[in-house]
């Protein structure tokens, strides 16, 4: 059975232990812990942002044809 540590902390709020120490303690108590995964191990590279305003890239550009000239290639 897979049990998230956050679920256990909901029932035992004072549970403040490293996952490895918790696994070791569970094993010593007679509960078999086959393995554990740390799902958030690669989250330090995630950046969270908030979009506050969206503007058109064309805002403020006139419809003057001179803006559309190309080099002729």
Number of domains in the chain: 1
Domain that holds residue 4: 1-36
Asked if residue 68 belongs to a domain, the reply is no
Asked if residue 26 belongs to a domain, the reply is yes
Asked if residue 48 belongs to a domain, the reply is no
* pLDDT tens for the 73 residues of the chain, in order: 788 888 888 998 888 888 888 889 888 999 888 888 887 777 777 888 998 888 877 766 665 554 555 555 5
Nearest CA-CA partner of 22 in 33, 13, 11, 40: 33
Q: What is the DSSP letter of 46?
A: -
Secondary structure (DSSP) of 15-44: ----HHHHHHHHHHTT--------TTTTGG
Asked if residue 63 belongs to a domain, the reply is no
């Amino acid at each position: 059975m897979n049990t998230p540590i956050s679920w256990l902390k909901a029932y035992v709020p004072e549970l403040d232990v490293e996952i490895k120490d918790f696994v070791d303690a569970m094993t010593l108590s007679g509960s078999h812990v086959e393995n554990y995964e740390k799902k958030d191990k690669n989250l330090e590279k995630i950046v969270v942002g908030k979009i506050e305003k969206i503007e058109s890239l064309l805002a403020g550009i006139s419809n003057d044809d001179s803006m559309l000239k190309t080099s002729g290639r």
